[in-house]
Structure 1
Amino acid sequence: MTDALQPDAAAQGSDRRLRVGVIGLGWAGQQHVAAYAADPTVDLAALSAMEDHLLAQFGDLHDVPGRYQDWQQMIAEAELDAVSIATPTFLHAPMAIAALEAGLHVITEKPMAENAESAARMVEAANRAGRVLDVSFNHRQRGDVTALKQVVDSGVLGTLYYAKTGWIRRQGIPGLGTWFTKAKSSGGGAMMDIGIHMLDMALHLMGEPEVTAASASTHAEFGPLGRGGSGFGISQVEEGVPFEVEDLATAFLRLEGGGTLLLESSWAQWIPHDLCYVTLYGADGGATIEWGGPDGPSITVWTEVAGMPAVLEPVVGEDGRHAAAVAGFLHKVRSDSWAEHNGALALRRAEVIDACYASAKAGAEVAIGA
């Protein structure tokens, strides 16, 4: 590790460039690599991946000096300040904890970990090390999400008491027979993979109310038959590897103060096209964002102006996605408030997902944080 900026030095705007690395060069890892490479305040100093061709491809593309198949060797030798972790879910906790204990700041891809227990150990490690722990919820960086958050914060909708959110795919079970569909390595199916994005967006838009209880149900109707992967026909599933997770999950979530949130997620379903949405119901107005259909993204607000019903169409800026998530992480690293960014919010998301799975297994509502 280099002589990392201390919070007070960071707050004073130190000119030293941060040395960063990326572990995992799948699609998500490639987004982190591109974000760092485009940032003039950092040096992309090291990459780690099992695939030689990806190390060569992205190492050459961005002139990265450190290239490692062994991520532990990278952490020990590359003299980094911060690292992105974009690997299978079950590896997030051991990698993040090792990096934090080595004095590095860490951002992982979502979900934070395969369960809340592992996520809690990550937060504990961040607190012990006094380093930033962040999780990349890149979809909250969408332009329409940002615009709707501004609407909510303006008070136009009044008190929010009910919301619905979901991500339903026409087809799209990732990696049939791979770690994605094995319970131990992924922690869960559609809810863990894409439902957590919608949970994060909805709670973010609603002002972070605490979830107090979950009542959920899960189903696996496509994956066990080899359906819903790369097309709606039967896919080749690795022999002897069962489909261990759900391909559809629904949840009724109770919120502090009496509010409620409905959450649904599915990797494959008999619908005409993918659908992602968040709908908010307030005392003074309602709003919805939706994307995935043939008409493209939309955002609409219904309220009343001067006693007359009104439909508002907020101006939507560009999507930030992974680049914005990485930029936010770097801003936290350069701030004077590392202790405030210890992964606690992402841990709360993990606790909700755990409660949903526990509820589905028990067939009963499960309290959270009781």
Structure 2
Amino acid sequence: MNNKLKIGIIGLGGIGYSAHMKAFNEIENCEIAALCDIDPSKFERFRKEYGFNNFYTDYKSMLKKEALDAVVVGTSNDTHKDISIFALESGVAVLCEKPVSRNKNEAFEIQKVIDETSKKFMVGQCFRFRNQTEKIQEIIREDKLGEIYYCHGSYIRQRGIPGYGTWFTDKKRAGGGVILDLGVHLIDYVWFLLGKPAFKTVSAYTYGGIGKRLASGEMIGFKGSAWPPTYSGLEKNIFDVEEMASIFIRFKNNVAFHLEVAWAMNIDKASSGGAIFGSKGSVTLNPVIYTHEDKDNMVSEELPFKLEPSHRNQARKFIQFLNGEIDNPAPIDDALKIMHVLDAVYESARQKKEISINTK
């Protein structure tokens, strides 16, 4: 008797291929039963690498024909809401990539259908499932940092605009740029590590000039980069999103959080990381370095942990959630609060002033 949960993956682009397919293929208690993408040219590499042959170009047909327990939604941001709602109303659980939607209104529509159908829904905030997460939470829980007062995070690429000219750089389809791509990771992760305190205000600055220069045909340092532009959308001049953002968030518990994110910046090399600072010590996010007082000295120690791919951990947690073994580790309620914050970030940048965050 086969008791494995049947999973369908919708969206076979970068995240579907490199993360979700690989992760769920390595997890016990589930099997990938169907794959879907609007572009059938993507199917061949799944045939070659995984020997898979059950493909669809229409997610509605897949959900109607296949007896699936859950689907993974890894498509463009503008399709998250409609695909998720159709799956939920079809009686199928959903793991939806971040950001859950383009804005808080779309997230609220998803939440409404979740409540109506009582189907399980989890958001793919993969940073939560990093192995170091529990180690950092343990340090905070044991009061080793003392009174936490400040956090910093960064996710900066030298040249790393994903899919130039595709939906990634089209505000109408993506909802935004690097804030919805990378900023959502850091804001959710630090908020999660801090115990999800109430948000108070945000002040933000955004910039998008480097990406716009691509429209003139300049390579401007992209040759040989990890994300070289395809120029597929240059004839449409599609780059109306931000490539860089500096964001300052205040929580109601008087903790401050500053983060910087960039797809493209004129720096010597790409970097990512962060830290949480307290009155007794600090801890960095990756690697985990705990710095604290030791009599008359300051001591720093790197704490070991077993490094595993966060998407595999996420897939494992999703299956455990579906089987009723754990509570939802990334619920829609959290995602809706984060979307309120992201909407406020864009509004602050537009108004060029600090504004209040209302997550209700």
What TM-score does the superposition give when structure 2 sets the normalisation length?
0.90
Matched, 1:280 2:276: yes
> RMSD over aligned Cα, in angstroms?
2.4
Higher mean C-alpha displacement, 107-116 vs 201-210: 201-210
Residue equivalent to 1:9: none
Runs of 5+ in structure 1 lacking a partner?
A: 1-13, 291-297
Take 1:150 and 1:15, find their aligned partners in 2: how far apart are those partners? 38
Indicate if the aligned counterparts of 2:122 and 2:329 stay in contact, CA closer than 8 A: no
Matched, 1:253 2:253: no
Q: Aligned residues, how many?
A: 350
Residue equivalent to 1:105: 93
1:143-222 matched pairs, under 5 angstroms: 143-222=131-210
Match of 1:129 among 117, 129, 151: 117
Superposition deviation, residue 111 in structure 1: 1.2
Superposition deviation, residue 98 in structure 1: 0.6
Higher mean C-alpha displacement, 252-261 vs 53-62: 53-62
Identity %: 28
Residue equivalent to 2:59: 71
Superposition deviation, residue 160 in structure 1: 1.3
2:14 aligned partner, one-letter code: W
What TM-score does the superposition give when structure 1 sets the normalisation length?
0.87
Superposition deviation, residue 338 in structure 1: 6.7
Runs of 5+ in structure 2 lacking a partner?
A: 215-219
Alpha carbons of 1:79 and 1:159: their partners in 2 closer, same or farther (altered >3 Å)? Answer: same
Superposition deviation, residue 250 in structure 1: 1.1
1:1-370 matched pairs, under 5 angstroms: 16-30=3-17, 31-59=19-47, 61-64=49-52, 66-226=54-214, 227=220, 229=222, 236=231, 238-290=234-286, 298-305=287-294, 308-335=297-324, 342-369=331-358
Take 1:193 and 1:97, find their aligned partners in 2: how far apart are those partners? 22
Deviations 1:181-225 (A, max 9, x none): 111111111111111111122112222112222111111120110
Take 2:249 and 2:305, find their aligned partners in 1: how far apart are those partners? 29
Residue equivalent to 2:217: none
Superposition deviation, residue 76 in structure 1: 1.0
SS at match of 1:257: coil
Take 2:130 and 2:224, find their aligned partners in 1: how far apart are those partners? 27
Superposition deviation, residue 154 in structure 1: 2.5
Take 2:331 and 2:106, find their aligned partners in 1: how far apart are those partners? 14
Higher mean C-alpha displacement, 240-249 vs 308-317: 308-317
Deviations 1:225-276 (A, max 9, x none): 0146555799745123241001111111110211111121111111111111
Take 2:247 and 2:69, find their aligned partners in 1: how far apart are those partners? 39
Higher mean C-alpha displacement, 105-114 vs 135-144: 135-144
Take 1:283 and 1:336, find their aligned partners in 2: how far apart are those partners? 37
